[in-house]
Structure 1
Amino acid sequence: MKEIRTDLTPQEKQKSYAKYFYEPIAEPNPNLIEILKKGPMDPAKALMPEDINKLLDPGYHEVETGYCILPNGAGYVAVNNKFPGVTVDMINWWFAWHALEDMRYMLWFRKGHFGIEISEEDRRIILDPNTPMVKKFQGRTHYVVEDTGGGVEDIQISFLSPEELGFDMDRFKPPAVGTVIAANGVSQPRAGGPKAPAIMLHFVREIPGGVEFRSRFWMGYHIIDKRPVKLIPDGISIPIQAPMGLAFHNVEEYSNLAVILPRLYKEMEGKIS
């Protein structure tokens, strides 16, 4: 079992980007935190995973930030995080670059990110200069040690392409969408308990002055053969604390990344090594 790391090694501290780990964590977006503090949203206003192509429509959904338990017992999270001064290229680069080293994942959000691993095959693909940037995360699997709001978990994040998610690829282009970061996740609490499946979807769109993440999570689901499948048994309901904790965590980690990423990308010159 991978250790829970809360500080950098002497060797890591020598790296130029170690400074980001030690910076004060950015204040979570107060507008989003205020919305979440009001309690669960109306489940009738959730986006069901069968309807992800609605994200390609212009404008916004009635609820872009909230959490709830769906009528079928699955958990749901929506968050709209803004990234001023960030580009789609920066986002694609980040999800390739940070998988290569514990400290890169840790500096993203040191309060809840404790380590990351990938296979040697995935490392080779990521480091290959001929691999297109999006394929440096799509099709790759990250094994992370993370606290998403309910205690430390070991999480397997198997990233998917837009095609695998079931997006209409004829419509999948700017300005409707810039990139999508999505995966089937399986989390195992360190404290014990059953493994928990989830679909993670970050739908990234350009906005004036930056990009926005229209994030959606369906806890209890996976994408299988381009379709969402509920994996939790009928009659079982995920505790509301799970989507609530994830929603707050999402705001925290992405508020911090939004502050770090423009400077880090410039310093690394957008290169993968």
Structure 2
Amino acid sequence: MSQIIPEQVQPTYDEYLAATKHRALRPDLTEQEKQRPFAKYYYDVITEPDPQHYAMMDKPCDPNKALYPEKRNDLLNPGDLDIETGWCNLKNGGGFIANKMVYPDITADMIDWWFSWHPLEDLRYRIWYPPQHGGLTVSPENRKRLLDDTIPYRERNWGVVHHVTEDTNCGMENIDIHFMSPQDFGFDMTRWKKPNVATFAGGVGWGVAVDKTDDSITAPAIMCHIFRETNEGLEHRTRFWLGYRFVDGQPELSLPPGVAVPAPAIQGLARHNVCEFTRFRDFLPKIYAELGGKSIA
């Protein structure tokens, strides 16, 4: 039987949105939050990324070697693509980000549980990467799906919208992330099998600055986290295509002619990705050992 999150833990969307300017200041936990069984993770010492890995985001990669979203099924091929870690402006002005990390102590089941567990409560997102994760909420309908024990963990996040507040090195933003199934994302499901695919989390996002003005720049983005099994551990391959959205199931560039996604926004997200998933590599095995397999703590 599904379990219900207490009302005081999960605010309504309007309440959440109204509080995001305060969240941008990264306030300390409330006394109520400090009583949650996983609050201790908010005060962890955060592991710094590997310097050589992080340095790969210092300069743009070769756009001629970047993967375009129309070729996303190339991610199902064995081996590596030309760019597995890097960022750049594509020739059409869109933004491209790639990052690869290996998790020796993480399984696909842990990934599936995490993406159904952490959206259920604001603090669960904040403990993931406290330096830049400001908060998260979902709708009552989405919460019901995430708690539905008749749905496999792998599928619970499909169709769910995460209303996220986070800083990707360009200031705090409110971001709506619409998660999708791999089929709706456009992957060739006849090739969707191990070891080249273990699991997936991805969809389309749209962010606006917490302090949005009429001059604020906004654009959609396609996000892809795809995982495969290797001898070294679970391999996580990230792709972002900034300035893109899906239209009738196909990726479409949504920038006006002659407009490019600002390079600092692409680089900022690339660096954020390295940092938050370095934390993820160390953090997820710990919290899964403590709470894994449960919908609610």
Length-normalised TM-score, structure 1: 0.96
Q: Secondary structure at the match of 1:260?
A: helix
Quick one: structure 1 residues 9 and 209, their matched pair in 2 at CA, closer, same or farther if it must change by over 3 Å?
farther
Aligned length: 272
Deviation at 1:207, TM superposition (A): 1.9
Q: Secondary structure at the match of 2:127?
A: helix
> Which among 246, 249, 265 is matched to residue 288 of structure 2?
265
CA distance in 2, matches of 1:69, 1:130: 43
Deviation at 1:233, TM superposition (A): 1.2
Partner of 2:19: 2
TM-superposition CA deviations, 1:192-218 (whole Å, max 9, x none) = 303220000011111224212110000
- Runs of 4+ in structure 1 deviating by more than 4 angstroms, as ranges, are none
Query: 1:36 aligned to 2:53?
Result: no
Query: 1:78 aligned to 2:98?
Result: yes
Deviation at 1:94, TM superposition (A): 0.6
Q: Secondary structure at the match of 1:36?
A: coil
Deviation at 1:176, TM superposition (A): 1.1
Query: 1:215 aligned to 2:232?
Result: no
CA distance in 2, matches of 1:2, 1:140: 22
Q: Secondary structure at the match of 2:190?
A: coil
> Which among 268, 275, 279 is matched to residue 245 of structure 1?
268
Matches within 5 A, 1:118-267: 118-192=138-212, 193-267=216-290
Amino acid of the structure 2 residue aligned with 1:13: K
Q: Secondary structure at the match of 1:258?
A: helix
CA contact (8 A) 1:113 1:145 kept: yes
CA contact (8 A) 2:102 2:232 kept: no
Q: Secondary structure at the match of 2:134?
A: strand
**Structure 2: unaligned runs, 5 residues or longer:** 1-17
Amino acid of the structure 1 residue aligned with 2:151: T
Deviation at 1:190, TM superposition (A): 2.1
CA distance in 2, matches of 1:97, 1:9: 21
Partner of 1:103: 123
CA contact (8 A) 1:85 1:209 kept: no
CA distance in 1, matches of 2:292, 2:172: 33
Partner of 1:18: 39
CA contact (8 A) 1:6 1:110 kept: no
Q: Secondary structure at the match of 2:56?
A: helix
**Structure 1: unaligned runs, 5 residues or longer:** none
CA contact (8 A) 1:2 1:145 kept: no
Deviation at 1:26, TM superposition (A): 1.1
Amino acid of the structure 1 residue aligned with 2:236: F
Q: Secondary structure at the match of 1:241?
A: helix
Length-normalised TM-score, structure 2: 0.89
| CA RMSD, Structure 1 to Structure 2 (Å) | 1.2
Moved more, 8-17 or 67-76: 8-17
Deviation at 1:266, TM superposition (A): 1.0
CA distance in 2, matches of 1:126, 1:242: 31
Deviation at 1:138, TM superposition (A): 1.1
Query: 1:58 aligned to 2:75?
Result: no
Amino acid of the structure 2 residue aligned with 1:130: T
CA distance in 1, matches of 2:135, 2:83: 33
CA contact (8 A) 1:220 1:231 kept: yes
CA distance in 2, matches of 1:170, 1:215: 21
Query: 1:90 aligned to 2:107?
Result: no
Q: Secondary structure at the match of 2:269?
A: helix
Amino acid of the structure 2 residue aligned with 1:107: I
